[in-house]
Amino acid sequence: MAIVFLSAMLQPLTGGVSQVRVAGRTIRTVINHLEERFPGMKERLLQDGDLRPDIAVAIDGELALDGLAESVGEESEVHFIPPISGG
C-alpha cells in the first residue's frame, strides 16, 4: 500500500496523523480511501470532481500529470503540495 504524507495543512482533518498507508492504484482511489478514514478529505482536495487547481500531487518525487487517473505504485510515496509555477 502506498504511503500518503499528510501535511500540516491536511492534519486538521486527520487529527494530527501525518502519514498513512492507503490502498489504491490511482490517486482517485487513494483519495476515496482517505475520505473513508478522514471525512472531509475529498472536499479539501477536489473541486468539481477533479483535483483542485491549487493542489498538486507528487508521487515518488515526480509531479503527477494525469490528475486523478495518475498511477500509484504499491510502495509509492504520495504528497499533496502547492503547485509550483515560476517566472
> Which residues are at the interface with another protein (CB under 8 A)?
5, 7-13, 18, 44, 47, 52-54, 58, 61-63, 65, 77, 79, 81-87
- Amino acid present at 6: L
Cβ proximity to another protein, 9 vs 23, nearer residue: 9
Q: Which is nearer to another protein, 49 or 61 (CB)?
A: 61
Q: How far is the CB of 57 from another protein (least distance, A)?
A: 10
Closest alpha carbon to 71 in 81, 59, 80: 59
The CB-of-24 to another protein minimum distance in angstroms stands at 18
3-25 b/e with 16+ CB inside 10 Å = b?
Answer: ebebeeebeebbeeeeebebebe
